[in-house]
Amino acid sequence: MSVMRRYEISRGMSDTSVDVAIVGAGPYGLSLAAHLRAAGVSFRIFGQPMQGWVAHMPVGMRLKSEGFASNLYDPEGAFTLERFCRERGIPYADSGLPVARETFIDYGVAFQERFLPGLECKNLVGLDRDADGFVLRLADAERVLARRVVLAVGIAGYGYVPDELASLPAQVVTHSSRHADLQSFAGRRVALVGGGSSAIDLADLLTEAGAEVQLIARRPALRFHNPPTGEPRSRWQEIRYPMTGMGPGLRARLYTDAPLAFHFLPQKVRRGIVLDFAPPEGGWFSRERIIGRVPLLLGHSVVRARTRGQEVQLRLSGPDGSERDVVADHVIAATGYRVDLARLTFLSQRIRARLRSAYQTPVLSSQFESSVPGLYFVGLPAALSFGPMMRFALGAGYTARRLTGALRGSQSRDRHAHYLVRAANL
């Protein structure tokens, strides 16, 4: 009798079993599933297609990534964003033409419909493990048994709110990932805290929605990507500053081409690189929509926040040490994302106790496997192990190829063991 068969009997025949369960249907989950399907690996994938972009990115935003770096990945590399746009009659350019959020979402949904029509739009509410495998509890009460689980849950659950703001009531302070539709802020005063791309995008879009916005950032100046020149690049520029999906430069080339080499660097070195490389910046196309149009309080930090009736009062410290107050109806913390395994509340205590972590991030093998055998993390939680590329959709291609090889090899070994057990029982 096989291990999984004994597992099914011990759990009850109402449960269903599968070799691999993928949780999450964004660029990483969809790209991996497309590769597994082509490789003949048994899997189920759960989640709403492109949910992180639909529910947690603001309507009207544009991607900082260039068109050529905004793909999902099928095994043949055939269904690119360029092909999708050509089929739909949507303007596209490899670079110089920002990709709209709505276009990227529609592309992801089309990718799912083409390669993964069996996607199950179900949410995971619990994940546990025992000696034989994993048990997934879904919101519709179904239980799924899986030998291996891949968590591709996106970034929204890791939204970071600084301590100075976290003490405010939830109705007056929210993280930027909570807002896709900004129309409810029309006519309201919004204090937007942060100086990266999320803050810059929201400052523009909130102003468009009719909000009275004030952008507060610790940095003394906002940073924006350099706009494309449209000029041909010289041979020297191509060698010295090779173009990559994370921008030009030899470091960017190293991190996009050699994530496995990055994995074997010392942990402290890896963390320093992830924190330092590609600091938060706005898209080049946002500069003229922000500078001179949105009130900016740069070089200011929030030192205290409190409610005053229906308002929020922020005490700010300026670059010269002086203090001032800002009063708003609502505060949005566009303060980025920090991986924290404690945020994954669906993980059982049994799994948590066995998960090795560093800086609240899972420690992963060279094949994305955590210290819990059979449990894999992809996307942002893998950045500490495989480099800054994992912060972007760009990393989904490498992840899908490498993890498919690992899961296919594990399935083959399991089948071999199954046949040996059967032979022994005969």
Q: Does residue 421 carry a pLDDT above 50?
A: no
d(C-alpha 287, C-alpha 310), whole Å: 33
- 164-222 pLDDT tens trace: 999 999 999 999 999 999 999 999 999 999 999 999 999 999 999 999 999 999 999 99
pLDDT value of position 280: 83
pLDDT value of position 34: 98
- 390-420 pLDDT tens trace: 999 999 999 999 999 999 986 555 554 443 3
**Mean pLDDT across the stretch 86-111?**
97
Q: Does residue 77 carry a pLDDT above 70?
A: yes
d(C-alpha 258, C-alpha 151), whole Å: 23
What the block records as the tokens of 324 is 């001032």
| Residue in this structure with the two tokens 């709403």, named with its chain if needed | 48
User: What is the rounded (10 degree) CA torsion for 140, 146, 148, 152?
Assistant: -10
pTM: 0.91
Q: Does residue 424 carry a pLDDT above 80?
A: no
pLDDT value of position 412: 52
Question: Is the Cβ–Cβ distance between 25 and 112 less than 8 Å?
Answer: yes
pLDDT value of position 151: 98
Percent of the chain with pLDDT over 90: 85
Q: Please report the domains of the chain, with CATH numbers, ordered by start residue.
A: 3-158+337-425 (3.50.50.60), 163-224+282-333 (3.50.50.60)
pLDDT value of position 9: 38
Q: Does residue 251 carry a pLDDT above 90?
A: yes
Q: Does residue 101 carry a pLDDT above 90?
A: yes
Least confident of 27-31, 35-39, 234-238: 234-238
**Mean pLDDT across the stretch 85-112?**
97
| Per-chain mean pLDDT for the chain | 92
pLDDT value of position 142: 95
d(C-alpha 124, C-alpha 136), whole Å: 7
Q: Does residue 89 carry a pLDDT above 60?
A: yes
H-state helical runs in 57-155: 81-88, 101-115
Q: Does residue 14 carry a pLDDT above 60?
A: no
- 322-346 pLDDT tens trace: 999 999 999 999 999 999 999 999 9
pLDDT value of position 411: 59
pLDDT band at 298 (very low <50, low <70, confident <90, very high): very high
pLDDT value of position 422: 41
Per residue in 162-176, is it b (16+ CB within 10 Å) or e — as a string? eebbeebeeebbbbb
Q: Name the residue type at position 213.
A: V
Least confident of 52-61, 186-195, 223-232: 223-232
Q: Does residue 8 carry a pLDDT above 50?
A: no
DSSP 191-214: EEE--SHHHHHHHHHHHHTT-EEE
**Mean pLDDT across the stretch 140-149?**
96
Name the 3-class secondary structure at 380.
helix
Between 413 and 360, name the one with better pLDDT: 360
**Mean pLDDT across the stretch 100-105?**
98
pLDDT value of position 239: 86
pLDDT value of position 414: 56
pLDDT value of position 419: 36
